[in-house]
Each structure stands twice: as C-alpha cells, then as structure tokens.
C-alpha cells in the first residue's frame, strides 16, 4: 500500500525569524517528465512584507533552500539600505 502526503494550503511557518506564507502549490512536469512545483508565497519579516511571488522547485529540499535565500536577501536589503528602502523594493 502506498501513502500520499497531502498539505492543504495556505500554510504559514517561521523560518529564520520571519513568517513564510505558502499560498498555493501547482504541480507540473518539465520537458523530461520530471515533476516540478510552482509555489506562490510571501514573506513577512518584522514590519516588512513582500509581495506574492513564485518559486519553481523540484522538491522540498530545493524549496527550503530558495526560501532561505529569499529571506537572506530581504534581511540584507533591510540591513544595508534600511527599512523604508526594503519596503519599497520587496513590497
């Protein structure tokens, strides 16, 4: 008997001190027939909230890596340029 793991979206969780909201996940296949997922999400860090954006990933490991990369970029904008600039760029 096989098991199917299902997660109902939207889902929110904390990563690196920020809240990540996964709004939608669409499954598709690439040209080789391998599964690829298009994830619509937004990130909220302190009082800075991003627009909804998409990530294309092959698995949860790649999703985790890309989310952490986006959080790092958001924190870098805030640290280097300040909150107001980060809000304009990300939001």
**Cα four-point dihedral sign 54, 56, 58, 64:** negative
Q: What span, in angstroms and rounded, lies between the C-alpha atoms of 36 and 19?
A: 24
Does pLDDT of 6 surpass 70?
no
Report pTM. Answer: 0.84
pLDDT in tens, 14-66: 999 999 999 999 988 889 999 999 999 999 998 899 999 999 999 999 999 99
The pLDDT assigned to 1 comes to: 59
């Amino acid at each position: 008997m096989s098991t199917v793991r299902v997660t109902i979206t939207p889902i929110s969780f904390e990563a690196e001190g920020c809240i990540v909201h996964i709004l939608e996940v669409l499954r598709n296949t690439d040209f080789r027939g391998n599964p690829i997922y298009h994830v619509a999400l937004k990130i909220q860090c302190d009082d800075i909230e991003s627009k909804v954006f998409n990530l294309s990933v092959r698995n949860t490991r790649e999703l985790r890596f890309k989310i952490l990369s986006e959080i790092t970029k958001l924190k870098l904008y805030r640290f280097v340029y300040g909150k107001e600039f980060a809000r304009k760029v990300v939001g």
